[in-house]
Amino acid sequence: MRLLMLGGTEFVGRAVTEAAGERGWEVTVLHRGHHAPPAGVTALTGDRTRGADGLAALAEGTWDLVVDTWSGAPSAVRDAARRLSGRAGHYTYISSRSVYAYPAPAGLGEDGPPVSGASPDAGDDVPYALAKRGGELAALDAFGDRALLARAGLIIGPGENIGRLPWWLGRIARGGPVIAPGPRDTALQYVDARDLATWVLDAAERGLDGAYNTVSRPGHTTMGELLDSCVRVTGSTNELRWTAPETLLAAGVEPWSDLPLWLPAGELYDTLYRGGHTKAYDAGLRCRPVGETVADTWAWLCERGGRAPQRPDRPRVGLDPTTEAKLLAG
């Protein structure tokens, strides 16, 4: 198979590129040149923020499959998809469950209503949900029933450049008691980037089209199991101080950002951690145990000297040490 990866040098894009290479596929990567692509690929340089001018490297060539992870201006997806519609057999857009109108009730499937106001022609400075939905519309407009929309939720695993799981691993590795957001049996829903990559390539090769919620079943793991795995792989002797959500909120701790992955019960929790998953599972999605994801992420971090990459367009996450100290003392 001949794959064109739009991106392909970081996190999900890199996971897709590496998975395709392991299959012996012929892989071409279009990227901006900020990071070295995996070995063995054909690298093309282009900047999609420059509109059609940034796609000059795609003037020639044909591919069986295209995978696109773009999360910025939908017009960038529009320009690429239009240019490739006659020279590629299939287009996969890595989208997000954020495209559903908020709040998304527990169990919502792919037929749930999307956000309103999205456009494939939108430029910069559109909210994330509208950007992803606009990208979907752009892919569908150019490729129709040759377009696959992989609506991922939380994505973790080696290569993560948002910092959520890496923050927990780094914090636990530093030692001392650690504030853990209770209750410990809080169910989590996510996908390992490598499992997402495997499913995307399998589904694209089979010619699947339309939208799929590419997430684990709700409760694939729990906050307790995940943090216990972090303690185990880092060799830490830390005590996890399980703390009630009410206590954390009263102290001004921000869910999701101050304590990554944590959400108290409510609409946002249902939206992010209780999404419908059966369509993707029926189509072959399989999610590895959380212990494997945590161990492999820790091994990757150690190879990098403990420093994870950070996307410049995303804020850093993690609890302020002063706030944590006050909670521990209380």
Same domain, 142 and 174: no
- Give me the residue label for tokens 């519609």: 85
Instruction: Give domain status of residue 282, yes or no.
Output: no
- Give me the residue label for tokens 């939905």: 133
Q: How many domains does the chain have?
A: 2
Amino acid identity at 124: D
Same domain, 196 and 184: no
Q: Which of 2, 300, 58 is nearest to 160 (CA)?
A: 300
Q: What CATH number is associated with residue 128? A: 3.40.50.720
Q: For residue 176, which phi and psi values (nearest 5 degrees)?
A: 85, 165
Q: Which residues pair with 44 in a beta bridge?
A: 30
pLDDT, tens digit, for every residue of 265-292? 999 999 999 999 999 999 999 999 999 9
Question: Which range marks the domain in which residue 250 is found?
Answer: 158-188+218-276+288-329
Same domain, 224 and 146: no
Instruction: Give domain status of residue 88, yes or no.
Output: yes
What pLDDT does residue 45 have? 96
In the chain, which stretches have pLDDT less than 50? none
Residues, the chain, total? 330
Instruction: Give domain status of residue 7, yes or no.
Output: yes
Same domain, 199 and 313: no
Same domain, 149 and 164: no
Q: What is the DSSP letter of 258?
A: T
> Is 102 exposed, middle or buried (CB count within 10 Å of its CB: 0-12, 13-18, 19+)?
exposed
Distance CA 252, CA 247 (A): 9
Q: For residue 269, which phi and psi values (nearest 5 degrees)?
A: -60, -45
Structure-token pair, residue 327: 């909670």
What pLDDT does residue 330 have? 84
Instruction: Give domain status of residue 281, yes or no.
Output: no
Same domain, 102 and 170: no
What pLDDT does residue 269 have? 98
What pLDDT does residue 259 have? 98
Same domain, 73 and 111: yes
Same domain, 49 and 137: yes
Same domain, 184 and 44: no
pTM greater than 0.85? yes
